Structure 1
Amino acid sequence: MDGVQTGVKICGLTEEAGLEACVEYGADWIGFVFFERSPRYISALQAKALASRITGSIRKVGLFVRPDDTVLERVLDQVDLDILQLYTTPERAVQIQAKFGRPVWSSIPVASQADLPRLCTVERLLIEPKPPVHATRPGGNAQQLNWDLLHGWQPGYSWMLAGGLNPENVSQAVAITGAPAVDVSSGVESAPGIKSPDAIARFIHNARSPAVS
């Protein structure tokens, strides 16, 4: 990772101030959540309006939970997403990537080193903690992964670290795990679904700054 800037994804955008902060401070990806149980859920029309304000090279990621083709088609008719982020089976993820002609990222919840996947059949995997037993959604629960599980882990594919990250801990997380990219949602919010521009600025800066030992 020497000399390579850590990639940053800000997920769960619902309003203009947060999106504009992502543009201003140089996020690599912004995420829209198309899962109705999430406090960060956004309609395709709302996402279209926000996406029209994106400038530069920021890529648009749509997050879906076990979507059928109809759901994906309805959203893509409104929003030209660059990437589809999925909670689904590996087989279904490959099928969706082929059918819709867009890169797919698959979210992989882990609790131990044995859960770390050896292979990746889509563009990228998101490594995050397993949700609580009674959680109503598979991700976005503000849980922090045990980063030591990833110390020295060097898979032969693209991946991203997610789960419980915030401006205060992201530099240490990158230092311990060697994550080439990081994903944050609730960790840069002032209220559920409402992003803090200041927290976004600090998160992006700290993700790309080495941890102080």
Structure 2
Amino acid sequence: MAEAKICGITDARALDAAIDGGARFVGFVVYPKSPRHLSRDKLAALAERARGQVETVVVTVDADEELLAAVAACAGPDWIQLHGSENPGKTAQARQYAQRGLIKAIGVARPEDLAQAAAFEPVADMLMFDAKPPPGGLPGGNALAFDWQILAGRRFGRPWMLSGGLTPANVAEAVSASGAAAVDVSSGVEASAGLKDPLKIAEFLAAARSA
């Protein structure tokens, strides 16, 4: 059984499907280049709807402290996820804006990429291993996967989550190959970019639960 995060939620239907399906986390993206970007008002409304039912994660990319403070004020997220090129120092500074913890995403294409984790273990509460984006691509949500077996048998100083190219059809295989205890999905449960499909969300969560 793997815990799950449904990321890039943009409307109440998707949020309710994630909650009803038993997701541990829901992710809200604050990054204007993403089709899943939320305005402050929409972020605040969805975060309020989720409060007390599921752990909320605000996903940012190379955000400055002004943005992080604004996000914390309007959404009060349980978690802040850093999905850019933030260094350990920036990661440590961002921790104050989260109620529960800080997630740092690390792009992976080769086994050597996992070495980055050591620098973030002292300052992040959770790690996320996601597929490295293509040149010029978005930092995440690209429907790309990496070789999950890279993670098999590896131990890290923090809990970690697997992301990148996951779908209802392959999440069980991904968990088996990697040993992940938690998984993250965005594009794999969408009808179109930025629009989640509640049925796919339910299918993904059921598959993750039985993995």
TM-score by length of 2: 0.92
Supply the distance in 1 between the matched residues of 2:140 and 2:191 (Cα, whole angstroms): 19
Kept in 2: contact 1:23–1:55 (CA 8 A): no
Percent identity for Structure 1 against Structure 2: 39
Residues 14-56 of structure 1: per-residue CA shift (max 9 Å, x gap): 0111001011111100000000000000012101111222265
Residue 130, structure 1, aligned to residue 128, structure 2:
no
Supply the distance in 2 between the matched residues of 1:149 and 1:90 (Cα, whole angstroms): 23
Question: Which sections of structure 1, spanning at least 5 residues, go unmatched?
Answer: none
Question: How big is the shift at 1:156?
Answer: 3.2
TM-score by length of 1: 0.91
Residues 51-91 of structure 1: per-residue CA shift (max 9 Å, x gap): 22226541110001111111111122211111000021122
Kept in 2: contact 1:6–1:181 (CA 8 A): yes
Task: Give 3-state SS (helix, strand or coil) of 1:143's partner.
Answer: coil
- Looking at secondary structure, tell me which structure has more helix per residue: 2
Residue 206, structure 1, aligned to residue 202, structure 2:
no
- Could you say which residue in structure 1 is the equivalent of 2:33? 37
Supply the distance in 1 between the matched residues of 2:2 and 2:174 (Cα, whole angstroms): 11
Supply the distance in 2 between the matched residues of 1:11 and 1:143 (Cα, whole angstroms): 15
Q: How does 1:70-85 map to 2 (within 5 A)?
A: 70-85=66-81
Residue 108, structure 1, aligned to residue 116, structure 2:
no
Supply the distance in 1 between the matched residues of 2:57 and 2:167 (Cα, whole angstroms): 20
Supply the distance in 2 between the matched residues of 1:47 and 1:132 (Cα, whole angstroms): 28
Alignment: residue pair count: 204
Q: How does 1:43-122 map to 2 (within 5 A)?
A: 43-54=39-50, 56-86=52-82, 87=84, 88-97=86-95, 99-100=96-97, 102=99, 103-117=101-115, 118-119=117-118, 120-121=121-122, 122=124
Task: Give 3-state SS (helix, strand or coil) of 2:36's partner.
Answer: coil
Supply the distance in 1 between the matched residues of 2:94 and 2:158 (Cα, whole angstroms): 19
Question: Which sections of structure 2, spanning at least 5 residues, go unmatched?
Answer: none
The CA RMSD measured in Å over matched residues stands at: 1.4
